[in-house]
A and B are shown apart, each in its own frame.
Chain A
Amino acid sequence: MAVKKRMKDFTLMEKIYLPSIVAGLGITLQNMFKPKYTMEYPEVKFMPSGHYRGRPVLVQEEDGGERCVACGLCSRVCPALAIDIQAAETEKEKERYPERFEINMLRCIFCGLCEEVCPEEAIVMSKEYEIAFTNRQDAIYGKDKLLTPIADLQERIEFLRGNK
């Protein structure tokens, strides 16, 4: 086996090794008395800023209706096929609305492509990250769970507009 020459030979102090060990011990000892960074989750909650991609939700206009026109682009772009939409006709000017809008949270990967592709700014990523269910049926979020008043989503919408 060829012997490789070191880039740099160790000095005597380095060869003794003990001083480095002591220095290392000193660093860990210092750390033991420094403030801790752990966030103790159920009691203390993480408050994300506008950039955070929590579960996707539908924007609910002030009149209570959804902004979505059921164009299906989010469903098309979704890499995990999490979104299922059934469009229907409405008397409103927008003509079209989602009769059924379902996101399968077991499939969702929180990539935010649905939000990016949406031409109406109707689906955005919320700050909500506490998503738990105990069976497959509960994992399918319908309009009842998805519709979120626009006032609650203002921060995210402004973030998106600022980062176009």
Chain B
Amino acid sequence: MESLIIAGIALVKVLILANIILLTVSYLVYFERKISAWAQSRVGPNRVGYAGLLQPFADVFKLLLKEDIVPDQANKPIHTLAPFLALFVAFTTYAVIPWGPDVTIFGRVIELSVVPNINAGILYVLALTSIGVYAITLSGWSSGSKYSLLGGVRASAQMISYEISMGFSVAGVLIFSQSLLPSEIVKSQSGLMWNAFLQPIGFITFVTAAFAETNRLPFDLPEAEPELVGGFHTEYSSMKFAAFFLAEYANMMIASALIVTLYLGGWQVPYLEKLGLSAGWEAIIQVAAFFTKLVFLMFFFIWVRWSIPRFRYDQLMDIGWKVMFPLALLNVIWAAVLAMLIK
């Protein structure tokens, strides 16, 4: 009975989260187009529904109705597998992100995270995002097109390079929190002890690496429309293309959630306890705080995309290895010194 209830609660959490992700992701596409339009003094989509709010549904229907084209030269099973691998990785990473404090409902303590108590939560995230590179590399390789292949090769090189600085940046956070549990990391940033303030270098390297890992501008070389005609997803159409599309935005969301969790205090609101609110209100405000931070970061992702041009490939590698990597190392030392001083 107890295990059934636990399973039920987990299922509800999955359903809620999955819906939030899907809805957010589809509206991310809408806002990407809106914000790009605003930044360029245009109006943006405004024809479907009020102010174009139904545009995401129109896009999805359009993609659904399109013909699914598989190139003759493609390795068909892998070609089909790749987009869903990308989607799978993007969605499962959410499992360990805490989006609020523990709450007590009907006398039962519920953690606001799908799988709350994995000791290796952060490692799980790192592991999964590394699998994400397979999706892109495989899609590039299996398409049987030189553009796709180049995009895939670029993607793997880029993601492996930036994973290193990402890992070292995270190490700085872990030294501070002394735990791999995401919920512990959040709790360790109480008050204004946000890692973003304590380790500014690590914060910058992590955010930069996050951009690179999600293939967003200025690091979108695997797609690079002008030179690679869309890169790894050149040969994808219909729902498979939509899967890549969804995964890209889901990745953006998970990257934002990770930044919030690791550096911006997660669901914590500084000095909220001083207001003396009831536990229920406090929980609601904290969940809202998490999503506010998340929304701001996603806006930031889009904002950056429409402000900064793409790097050249050699510049990308230069920054990855010659700048980001030493900086991340420096940050580890800094974190260690700081941790010794404070604790």
Which interface class (under 10, 10 to 19, 20 to 34, 35 or more) fits B?
A: 10 to 19
- A interface with B by C-beta (< 8 Å): 18, 21, 24-25, 27-29, 31-38, 40
Can you list 18 A-B contacts with CB-CB less than 8 angstroms, sorted by A residue number?
Answer: A18-B204, A21-B308, A24-B308, A25-B307, A27-B307, A28-B39, A29-B39, A29-B303, A31-B38, A31-B39, A31-B40, A32-B39, A35-B41, A36-B42, A37-B41, A37-B42, A40-B43, A40-B46
The 5 closest A-B pairs by CB, nearest first: A32-B38, A28-B39, A28-B307, A38-B43, A24-B307
Of A25, A35, A36, A38, which one neighbours B304 at CB under 8 angstroms? A25
Residues on A with beta carbons closer than 8 Å to the beta carbon of B41: 31, 34-38
Closest chain A residue to B300, Cβ basis? A25
Closest chain B residue to A22, Cβ basis? B307
Closest Cβ–Cβ distance, residue A12 to chain B (whole Å): 14
Closest chain A residue to B35, Cβ basis? A32
**With the chains together, A108 CA to B242 CA distance in Å?**
41
**With the chains together, A27 CA to B42 CA distance in Å?**
15
Which residues 30-65 of B sit at the A interface, judged by CB distance below 8 A?
35, 37-43, 46
**With the chains together, A29 CA to B37 CA distance in Å?**
12
Closest Cβ–Cβ distance, residue B216 to chain A (whole Å): 14
Closest Cβ–Cβ distance, residue A6 to chain B (whole Å): 14
Closest chain A residue to B304, Cβ basis? A25
Which residues 2-52 of B sit at the A interface, judged by CB distance below 8 A?
35, 37-43, 46
**With the chains together, A34 CA to B43 CA distance in Å?**
11
Closest Cβ–Cβ distance, residue A15 to chain B (whole Å): 10
Which residues 55-78 of B sit at the A interface, judged by CB distance below 8 A?
none
Whether B306 is near chain A, meaning CB under 8 Å from some CB there, is: yes
Residues on A with beta carbons closer than 8 Å to the beta carbon of B43: 36, 38, 40
> If A18-B204, A24-B307 touch, does A38 touch B42 (CB 8 Å cutoff)?
yes
Known: A21-B304, A40-B43. 11 other contacts (CB 8 A): A21-B307, A24-B308, A28-B303, A28-B307, A32-B35, A32-B39, A33-B38, A36-B41, A37-B41, A38-B43, A40-B46
